[in-house]
Structure 1
Amino acid sequence: MKQHNIVLVGGGSTWTPGILKALTKHLHEFPLKRVVLYDVDEERQEVIGEFAKILFAEEAPEVEFTYTTNKIEAYSDMDFVFCQMRTGGYPMREKDEKIPLGFGVIGQETCGAGGFAYGMRSIRDMIEMVNDVRHYSADAWILNYTNPAAIVALALDRVFPDDKKILNICDQPVNLLRSYGRLINYDYNKFEPTYFGLNHFGWFTHIFDENGNDLAPKIKEMILQGGFRPVDAEQRDQSWLDTYALVEDMVRDFPEYLPNTYLQYYLYPQYKAAKLDSHHTRANEVMEGREKKVFEECRDIVLKGTAKKSQVVHNDAHGDMIVEVAASISNNLRRTYIVIVPNNGIVSNLSNDVMIEVAASLGINGPAPYAVGEIESFYKGLIEGQHAYEKLTVEAYLEGSYTKALQALTLNRTIVDAKKARLVLDALIEANKEYWPELK
């Protein structure tokens, strides 16, 4: 079995330890020769990188590990690129969340105006990353976690339409499957899900067990009877518990399918905006919670010289999924994952240029998506409106168009009102001068 060279872009992320642990866990099916962390923030990455040296020394000493801020070293002779960059870091995420809330509309990392701002920042660096990778490792697979994945996927498809080795993925569908498994006391690995939508904007239509029985009705019934919690509820902040709890409302109002948790921002925008604190948002929770904990523990591991019994390197969906996806591609395993691909008839009554999130088998030639067929008017209307917003966002960036940016935010269900959209847009332009192109 081939040993792989991989680079993890965004090496200073708090999610990196979990991915590194997943790499050591899956060595039997995804052998490694060299692992490189790459980040433009040297200080953040050094903390994670020094921790990683200890982790690999203890769990995979045969793997060559380095970390760098040099893109030539990072991207040369790579088989896989795992990407999880966050342009602007958490300080800009905080602005993404607080600026819209100041105008009475939802401030959220990937949804609404916050997602728009983050998307406009991500596009530039993602395009640069793909160009750099293709220069130094022309045949590498690029597996992308970078948010907002819907906008990023659309932009990369527009700029690199012939590049068939870019795959955009998201771990939230897997988080939901894990949580359904906990709810009904069932091994989620045995689920065979059917799913359609856009990233952070989709629905499970069926969840089959290994005998072909649809468990979705049972899952919906149990949610309506006792609510819904994430599989790792004991480790989650209150805001995430609140997010999962509102799934009960969505199932009650729209009982046909099981919704992605993020749909609540679009289905109940006024309610959600009223519940969010403009002075203390999710970004603050992360900086005060996971961010602080991960960096403190990584430093402690370096001082102790061992990563054994560490809580920072626990396995989760985020780490396991990206490594399992890489293994499925490399070994032509053709396992089923929910991924983001050009529609091209998958949902027959949506346009082909929609970047649809859907179940697909993954092998050496990439995803082979499963057909969905026609979807009903309610879901079609929601998706078409959201896709138009995403498409206009990408065009606003590529064309430097203020008008298209305003159109995008006006279309978004979390805003709707054009006058409010203009106020929010102008405030976001001021905050993002360092990152966005000039909009005219």
Structure 2
Amino acid sequence: MKLAVVGGGSTYTPELIDGFARLRDTLPIEELVLVDPAADRLELVSGLARRIFAKQDHAGKITTTTDIDAGVADADAVLLQLRVGGQAARNQDETWPLECGCVGQETTGAGGLAKALRTVPVVLDIAERVRRTNPDAWIIDFTNPVGIVTRALLQAGHKAVGLCNVAIGFQRKFARLLEVEPGQVHLDHVGLNHLSWELGVRLGGPDGENVLPKLLAEHGDAIADDLHMPRKLVDRLGVVPSYYLRYFYAHDEVVKELGTKPSRAAEVAAMEKELLEMYGDPALDEKPELLAKRGGAFYSEAAVDLAASLLGDGGSPVQVVNTYNNGTLPFLADDAVIEVQARVGRDGATPLAVPALDPLYAGLIANVTAYEDLALEAALRGGRDRVFKALLAHPLIGQYEYAEGLTDRLIAHNREHLAWA
């Protein structure tokens, strides 16, 4: 089995490598190719990757290349973990929206749109190269904004499934609180990428006992603290919202907070510099503790599970992924991309049935899906007016003066990445 990781020079790659090494029985990789245009980073990351494999007695071969076509050739699956423009572009996404009184975040709001506009054309180019080189390869997208990027891939006819670590993070957290193995915890996870709710927490399987009321009664304070939301709100909802919902439920409060501290991108950039120095140490043969602060917890385990199910019989039969709606949420078009529990196998992902949703959740899902429709149109076709309409449609913006100001700033900060600007 051969896997390629595009964006393999990321400082987060050692987390992925550690998962591949630990879970080699689930996903028996014979060759792993790390693909990245940054040859200097590739050298540091791949050196540590080989030492991790060696320490854990993994027999797989790790190779590197800056050539996408060569890297994805003959790959059974291609994992995409890109950041077009790097942390510098992310820092802009997290700062200029604040000038208009709007949240600055890299996956939602104006910053999320900027990232989509930069990313979608690049990902589609990579996917076309994969299709030309190896049309049978699965594409696993971890590149944000995952919902929009995955929809772009699926619309273009690629074999793609989107992946996020939010659901597996909740699964692991709830398993600790319940003192059970993670595999015993199944989530009634519903929504879009970075706009989701855990409507139930079931033991033993998708049809198991719902212990969410017990979790909220016994551990509500800890759950609310992790979400940075008030306990009374979580109790009132009776569900566990993704922490990204805080941008919607406490927008003005978050904007004030963000204006008083360095951006997350600045923190991560400093962390990455330190991590790369660590990776250059020939004595280091495991992922450093600092990497846990980098974000993306449990991504490696989710990636292994998904790849194993798509390529064989080693993964879990039911997983939370991003895929076509196909009637699952009746108020959305079939080609909307949703994030729900799905049966995953060699033929891809098929969403499980979802009960009728409370309008509190369905309304916001429909609104953000409409924004994502317009965002993808802007990413594919360009144009100031399309950018403006997408921003105007976003529930975190919604006022024409904000949308005008944000449109000007978005284009000004991203001209080098926008072919039409």
TM-score band by shorter chain is over 0.9
Say which SS state the counterpart of residue 102 (structure 1) adopts: helix
Residues 247 and 259 of structure 1 are in contact (CA less than 8 Å); yes or no, is this contact kept in structure 2? no
Residues 346 and 373 of structure 1 are in contact (CA less than 8 Å); yes or no, is this contact kept in structure 2? no
CA-based RMSD = 2.1
User: Aligned partner of 2:117: which letter?
Assistant: M
Q: Which residue of 2 aligns with 1:323?
A: 304
Q: Which residue of 1 aligns with 2:39?
A: 42
Quote the offset at 1:293 in angstroms: 3.7
Matched, 1:388 2:370: yes
Residues 325 and 351 of structure 2 are in contact (CA less than 8 Å); yes or no, is this contact kept in structure 1? no
Distance change (3 Å), C-alpha of 1:225 and 1:312: closer
Residues 155 and 394 of structure 1 are in contact (CA less than 8 Å); yes or no, is this contact kept in structure 2? yes
Matched, 1:297 2:281: no
Quote the offset at 1:185 in angstroms: 3.3
Say which SS state the counterpart of residue 367 (structure 1) adopts: strand
Q: Which residue of 2 aligns with 1:140?
A: 137
Q: 1:351 aligns with which of 326, 333, 337?
A: 333
Q: Hey, what's the Cα distance between the residues in 2 that align with 1:74 and 1:101?
A: 39
Residues 10 and 37 of structure 1 are in contact (CA less than 8 Å); yes or no, is this contact kept in structure 2? yes
TM-score by length of 1: 0.89
Distance change (3 Å), C-alpha of 1:326 and 1:246: same
Distance change (3 Å), C-alpha of 1:402 and 1:278: farther
Q: Hey, what's the Cα distance between the residues in 2 that align with 1:225 and 1:21?
A: 32
User: Aligned partner of 1:193: which letter?
Assistant: L
Say which SS state the counterpart of residue 95 (structure 1) adopts: helix
Matched, 1:220 2:228: no
Quote the offset at 1:350 in angstroms: 2.5
Q: Hey, what's the Cα distance between the residues in 1 that align with 2:175 and 2:76?
A: 33
Quote the offset at 1:252 in angstroms: 3.8
Distance change (3 Å), C-alpha of 1:83 and 1:60: farther
Quote the offset at 1:277 in angstroms: 2.7
User: Aligned partner of 1:350: which letter?
Assistant: L
Say which SS state the counterpart of residue 246 (structure 2) adopts: helix
Q: Which residue of 2 aligns with 1:233?
A: none
Deviation per residue, 1:377-420 (Å, 9 max, x gap): 22221111101111101111222232221111112122221111
User: Aligned partner of 1:426: which letter?
Assistant: D
Residues 247 and 261 of structure 1 are in contact (CA less than 8 Å); yes or no, is this contact kept in structure 2? no
Q: Which residue of 2 aligns with 1:248?
A: 231
Matched, 1:276 2:250: no
Quote the offset at 1:343 in angstroms: 0.8
Q: 2:398 aligns with which of 416, 427, 434?
A: 416
Q: Hey, what's the Cα distance between the residues in 1 that align with 2:233 and 2:123?
A: 34
Quote the offset at 1:281 in angstroms: 0.9
Q: Which residue of 2 aligns with 1:429?
A: 411
Q: Hey, what's the Cα distance between the residues in 1 that align with 2:291 and 2:262?
A: 28
Matched, 1:56 2:39: no
Q: Hey, what's the Cα distance between the residues in 2 that align with 1:197 and 1:16?
A: 28
Quote the offset at 1:177 in angstroms: 1.7
Q: 2:389 aligns with which of 407, 418, 432?
A: 407
User: Aligned partner of 2:202: which letter?
Assistant: F
Identity across aligned pairs (percent)?
30
Q: 2:115 aligns with which of 107, 118, 126?
A: 118
User: Aligned partner of 1:281: which letter?
Assistant: S
Matched, 1:340 2:322: yes
Q: Hey, what's the Cα distance between the residues in 1 that align with 2:297 and 2:402?
A: 39
TM-score by length of 2: 0.93
Say which SS state the counterpart of residue 351 (structure 1) adopts: coil
Q: Hey, what's the Cα distance between the residues in 2 that align with 1:424 and 1:24?
A: 44
Q: Hey, what's the Cα distance between the residues in 2 that align with 1:329 and 1:136?
A: 19
Runs of 4+ aligned residues of structure 1 deviating over 4 Å after TM superposition are 312-316
Q: Which residue of 2 aligns with 1:169?
A: 163
Q: Which residue of 1 aligns with 2:246?
A: 264
Q: Which residue of 1 aligns with 2:12?
A: 15
Say which SS state the counterpart of residue 208 (structure 1) adopts: strand
Any gaps of 5 or more consecutive residues in structure 1? 231-243
Q: Hey, what's the Cα distance between the residues in 2 that align with 1:392 and 1:105?
A: 19
Q: Which residue of 2 aligns with 1:201?
A: 195
Quote the offset at 1:311 in angstroms: 3.7
Residues 327 and 333 of structure 2 are in contact (CA less than 8 Å); yes or no, is this contact kept in structure 1? yes
Q: Hey, what's the Cα distance between the residues in 2 that align with 1:247 and 1:293?
A: 35
Q: Hey, what's the Cα distance between the residues in 1 that align with 2:389 and 2:287?
A: 51
Q: 1:79 aligns with which of 68, 73, 76?
A: 76
Residues 193 and 204 of structure 1 are in contact (CA less than 8 Å); yes or no, is this contact kept in structure 2? yes
* Alignment length (residue pairs): 415
Distance change (3 Å), C-alpha of 1:250 and 1:139: farther
Q: Hey, what's the Cα distance between the residues in 2 that align with 1:360 and 1:328?
A: 11
Quote the offset at 1:309 in angstroms: 8.1
Q: Hey, what's the Cα distance between the residues in 1 that align with 2:320 and 2:57?
A: 29
Quote the offset at 1:313 in angstroms: 7.6
